[in-house]
Every structure is written in structure tokens, then in C-alpha cells.
Amino acid sequence: MSAQGALDLTQANDGGVYFVEAADFDALVAAAEQGRLHVCRADLAGCHDKGELLRRLAASLSVPSGFGQNWDALLDSLRDLGWLHGTGHALLLDHANDLRQAAAKDFDTLLAILHESARFAIDQQRPFFAFLSLPEHPMALPSHRS
């Protein structure tokens, strides 16, 4: 992704899971705020297991009390997000490689949940983007539509 180009995060059909560089987070936050998306940011530095991941995501998402601390509860929360303001949601996960390196199965489960949440949001015509900073080359992001 080039942080130079204008990003349009208002199109629900462009929602999904994207791998980006950490340096792009400021531009992503700005684009999300411009599109009136609620931004949730979680730092996964040193996150090495499912329990820690769920704790950090619950805090970032400000989930209501009673969050089940399991994969099903995370999926349910990401499908709803009704307690957060905004026309859609942008979840930014920094240092995602720490989890991927320490717990590949948990990382893969997280990706599956994020993909399912994005598909659910697309069906509702609600923008939902998950951005994970990884050291590899990032995927292309939706650019501004003229």
C-alpha cells in the first residue's frame, strides 16, 4: 500500500483483511476517520497466545462486560460492534507477526474470524476493515473512487 494515495474506506464491498506496513497506520487512521469509521487499534507486541490476544482485542474493542474470552465470543463481538459509534469499523493490529511467530494456529484462527467478520459486514453493507502490520510486502488497498 502506498500511504501517498487517497484511501476510501467507506465502500463496504472493499472491506476485508489487509496486511500492511506499520508505517501506513497513520494514513489508515486518517482515512478511517475521514470515512467516519470507528477505529480500534491493538498492539500485539509480545502477544504469544490466544488468551493474551483475546484480552488485548477485548480492551481495544471496548467489548461489553461478560465477553466470553473465546473464539466464538470474538466472532460474535466483531459481527455486532453496535456499542461502537461510526458508519463502519477499522481494526488495526500492530506487531501481528509476534503472534504469528509464537502461535501460528491462533494467528490462522484470528485471520479466519476477521475474514468471516468482514464477509458478514459486507452482507450488511457496513464497512469493516482489519489491517495487520506484518514485515512482508503488503496487499493492495482500495483507492479513492472518482
For position 106, which CATH number holds? 3.30.370.10
The phi, psi pair for 2, rounded to 5°, reads -100, 120
Is the residue at 29 inside a domain? yes
Is the residue at 139 inside a domain? no
The pLDDT value recorded for residue 138 is 52
The pLDDT value recorded for residue 65 is 85
More reliable by pLDDT, 140 or 22: 22
Where in the sequence is the domain holding 51, given as residue range(s)? 12-133
Contacting residues for 97 by C-beta, under 8 A, at least 6 apart? 133, 134, 135
pTM of the model: 0.87
Is the residue at 47 inside a domain? yes
Domain count, the chain: 1
Q: How far apart are CA 42 and CA 15, in angstroms?
A: 19
Closest CA to 131 of 142, 120, 144, 145: 142
Is the residue at 67 inside a domain? yes
Question: Hunting for cell 463502519 — which residue is that?
Answer: 88
